[in-house]
Amino acid sequence: VGFSQVGAESDWRTANTESMKSTFSEDNGYELIFDDAQQKQENQLTAIRNFIQQEVDYIVLAPVTETGWDTVLQEAKDAGIPVIIVDRMVDVSDDSLYTAWVGSNFKLEGQKAMAWLDAYLEAKGRGDEEINLVDIQGTIGASAQIGRTEGFDEAVEAHDNWTTLAQQSGEFTQAKGQEVMESILKQSGDDIDVVYCENDNEAFGAIDAIKAAGYEVGGEEGQILVMSFDTTNAGLTQTLSGEITCDTECNPLHGPRVEEIIQKLEAGEDVDKQAFVDEVAFASDDTVTKVTIDGTDYDITPITQEIIDGRAY
Ligand code: AHR
């Protein structure tokens, strides 16, 4: 199995890589050829071509961005190698270029987070206040960025009293999240109410920048409320301390899911073309414990140390 990973830019991605490596181990009867693309699509294209040359049985691709895959996936198809896409999606003209995709509903993640924010501000008596928001986006063009930004934009659009002060990519890294936050704080630090970070590592960087600039993080009026995605161990620990007020899950444990797809293909069985994983959300307190999106209820669980200790990542 050849696995092309986006890169090691976040704690989430480390957990994702671990899940793949522990599943596709020699003990389990696999040979895994792992390639870390360092967030560059051209490295992923090279890795896939190498996998084809090495005549692997399956190619697993965690794509950095959605577009630009048609040619290389056609090459894999011509070589008769099934391609399984994980986590983020590819945008291709012909969906027979990949065999199956399993990953997150990134738009739903963003919708849940923004529905939580709406209910939280309402519960705090701030429903009619002017609220200024910042969106530190992920890698532009990645499904995780596209979906989470859509969830953010649609919610801001729906509120006359919400304004986007800044919207800029932090490339899903702590260093860039901090750098972007520092420059936004210089321009409009006193006006910011909410910072929506599109992953935990960006949130860690943003929180450092906010505190260094002399502002307080937290969910009360006068503080800067930080939201995040991923629910890594470190992210949830900062949720427990109240520095992240809401953290929405993006589940990285795709190894066993990909293995199930491969086993079905080996047995000649049909597989789902696309499958979303179930995901949860956590908050630093119990102000809001449920949100409803398109008629479906989603729990928002107040985080505890016990929950953190019981989780796999
Ligand atoms: O594609 C999943 C996203 O990308 C995760 O939120 C993030 O941490 C990763 O880098």
Tens of pLDDT, residue by residue over 217-269, are 999 999 999 999 999 999 999 999 999 999 999 999 999 999 999 999 999 99
DSSP state of 184: H
Residue 40 clears pLDDT 90, i.e. is over it: yes
Residue 281 vs residues 46, 238, 259, 260, 278: alpha-carbon distances, Å: 37, 14, 26, 26, 11
pLDDT of residue 102: 98
Q: Which amino acid, one-letter code, is at 84?
A: I
Which pair of tokens denotes residue 242? 């109240």
189 forms beta bridges with: none
Residue matched to tokens 């983020």: 88
Q: Please say whether the beta carbons of 229 and 246 come within 8 A.
A: no
Residue 278 clears pLDDT 90, i.e. is over it: yes
pLDDT more than 90, % of the chain? 99
- Choose the residue to mutate in 40, 229, 230, 248 for probing ligand 1, maximizing ligand atoms within 8 Å of C-beta: 230
What is the average pLDDT across 84-96?
97
The answer to whether the CB of 250 is under 6 A from ligand 1 is: yes
**Among the listed residues 130, 120, 161, the one whose alpha carbon sits nearest the alpha carbon of residue 291:** 120
Q: Calculate the average pLDDT of the chain.
A: 97
pLDDT of residue 8: 87
pLDDT of residue 205: 98
CA distance from start to end of the chain: 24
Helix (H, G, I), strand (E, B) or coil at 169: strand
- Choose the residue to mutate in 5, 61, 87, 173 for probing ligand 1, maximizing ligand atoms within 8 Å of C-beta: 87
**Greater pLDDT, 100 or 8:** 100
User: Which atom of ligand 1 is least distant from the CA of 143?
Assistant: 1
**Beta-sheet pairing, 246-249 with 281-283:** antiparallel
What is the average pLDDT across 2-15?
94
The answer to whether the CB of 144 is under 6 A from ligand 1 is: yes
Residue 9 clears pLDDT 90, i.e. is over it: no
Task: State in Å: Cα 29 to ligand 1 middle.
Answer: 29
Residue 187 vs residues 15, 182, 213, 215, 265: alpha-carbon distances, Å: 35, 9, 12, 14, 54
pLDDT of residue 192: 98
User: Which atom of ligand 1 is least distant from the CA of 200?
Assistant: 8
Give 3-state DSSP helix, strand, coil % of the chain, rounded to 5. 40, 20, 40
Helix (H, G, I), strand (E, B) or coil at 229: strand
Give the pLDDT band of residue 104 (cuts 50, 70, 90).
very high
What is the average pLDDT across 261-285?
98
What is the average pLDDT across 67-79?
98
The answer to whether the CB of 109 is under 6 A from ligand 1 is: no
165-198 pLDDT, tens per residue? 999 999 999 999 999 999 999 999 899 999 999 9
